[in-house]
A and B are shown apart, each in its own frame.
Chain A
Amino acid sequence: MYLLRRGWAELRNEVFVLPSRTLVLAWVIALLALPVVYGDPYVMRILTMTCIFAIFAASWDLLAGYTGQVNFGHALFFGAGTYTSALMSLKLGLSPWATIWAGAAVAFFFGFVVGYLCLRLRGSYLSLATLAFPLIALGILFAFPDFSGGELGISGLRRLAVTPTANYYVAAISMLVAVFALWLLADSKVGIVLHAIRDDEVAARASGINTPRYKLMVFAIAAAAAGFAGALFAHYLRVAGPSTLEVALSFQVVIWGIFGGVATVYGPVAAVFILYPLTEWLGSFRAFGELRLLIFAVVVLLVLLFMPRGLTPWVRDKIETQCPRCKQRNGVWRKICRLCGAALQPEVPGAQRLVGHQ
Chain B
Amino acid sequence: MLRSFVVGLAAFAIALGAQAQTIKIAILGPMAFVQGENHWAGAEMARDEINKAGGLNVGGKRMPIELIRADTNEIQSVPDATNAIERVITRDKADFLIGGFRSEAVLAMQEVAMDYKKIFLGAGAAHSKLGLNVESNYERYKYWFRPTPPKDVDLVRANFAALGSVAEQLRRQLGKQTPKVAILAEKAIWVEGIVAASQKNLPAMKMEVVGVWQPSAVATDVTAELSAIERAGADIVFTLLSGPVGISVGRQMGERKMKAIAFGINVEAQKDEFWQATAGKGNYVSTLDTFAEVELSPKTIPFVRAFKARYQKSPTYNAGTYDAIMLLKTVIEQAGTTNADRLVPVLEKISFTTLTGVLEFDKRHDLVWGPGKITGIAVQWQDGKKVPFWPPQVKGMQPFKLPEH
A residues adjacent to B (C-beta < 8 A): 40-42, 45-46, 49, 142, 145-146, 149-153, 155-156, 233, 237-239, 241-243, 248, 280, 283-284, 286, 289-290, 292-293
Contacts and interface: CB of A to CB of B under 8 A. Distances in A.
B80 interface: yes
A280 B189 contact: no
A42 B87 contact: yes
Contact of B31 (A241, A242, A290): A290
A83 B77 CA distance: 17
Given A40-B91, A156-B107, A289-B31, 10 more contacts: A49-B79, A152-B103, A152-B190, A153-B104, A239-B108, A239-B111, A283-B84, A286-B71, A289-B71, A290-B32
B293 interface: no
Nearest to B104: A241
A322 to B, nearest CB: 39
A42 B76 contact: no
Nearest to B141: A156
Interface string B112-156: 000000000000000101000100000000000000000000000
Interface of B: 31-32, 69, 71, 73, 76-80, 82-84, 86-87, 90-91, 103-104, 107-108, 111, 127, 129, 133, 187-190, 192, 217
A149 B189 contact: yes
Given A45-B82, A152-B103, A248-B76, A290 B108 contact: no
A345 B192 CA distance: 72
B71 A290 contact: yes
Given A49-B83, A289-B71, A152 B104 contact: yes
B108 A45 contact: no
A115 to B, nearest CB: 28
Which 5 A/B pairs are nearest by Cβ-Cβ distance?
A150-B189, A290-B32, A241-B104, A155-B107, A239-B108
Given A237-B108, A283-B71, A289-B71, A151 B188 contact: yes
A291 to B, nearest CB: 9
Given A42-B86, A283-B73, A238 B103 contact: no
A129 to B, nearest CB: 22
A152 B103 CA distance: 6
Nearest to A40: B90
13 contacts: A42-B91, A151-B104, A151-B190, A152-B104, A152-B190, A153-B107, A155-B108, A237-B82, A239-B104, A248-B77, A283-B71, A283-B80, A289-B31
Contacts of A153: 104, 107
Most buried by B among A40, A45, A142, A237: A237
Contacts, number: 88
Contacts of B108: 155, 237-239
Contacts of B217: 151
A237 B77 CA distance: 12
Contacts of B78: 237, 239, 241, 243
Contact of A239 (B71, B76, B107, B187): B107
A241 B76 CA distance: 13
Main secondary structure, interface of B, reads: helix
B66 to A, nearest CB: 13
B108 to A, nearest CB: 4
A70 B349 CA distance: 58
Nearest to B82: A237
Given A150-B188, A290-B31, A41 B107 contact: no
A248 B77 CA distance: 9
A145 B192 contact: yes
A239 B102 CA distance: 13
B219 to A, nearest CB: 13
Interface centre among A239, A242, A284, A290 (most CB of B within 10 A): A239
Nearest to A284: B87
Contacts of B133: 156
A237 to B, nearest CB: 5
A283 B111 CA distance: 21
Contacts of B87: 42, 284
Contact of B69 (A149, A242, A286): A286
Contacts of A155: 104, 107-108, 111, 129
Contacts of A293: 76
Contacts of A283: 71, 73, 80, 83-84
A292 B127 CA distance: 29
Nearest to B36: A290
Q: Quick one: which of B77, B104, B133, B188 has the most chain A CB within 10 A?
A: B104
A233 B108 CA distance: 12
A286 B91 CA distance: 14
A150 B108 CA distance: 16
B150 to A, nearest CB: 18
Nearest to B80: A283
A81 to B, nearest CB: 15
A152 B31 contact: no
Nearest to A149: B189
B187 A142 contact: yes
Contacts of A42: 83, 86-87, 90-91
A224 to B, nearest CB: 22
Given A237-B78, A293-B76, A152 B83 contact: no
A243 B77 contact: yes
A237 B31 contact: no
A153 B69 CA distance: 27
Contact of B107 (A46, A142, A152): A152
A324 to B, nearest CB: 46
B25 to A, nearest CB: 14
Given A155-B108, A239-B111, A41 B73 contact: no
Nearest to B107: A155
Nearest to A45: B86
Contacts of A284: 84, 87
Contacts of A150: 188-190, 192
Contacts of B189: 145, 149-152
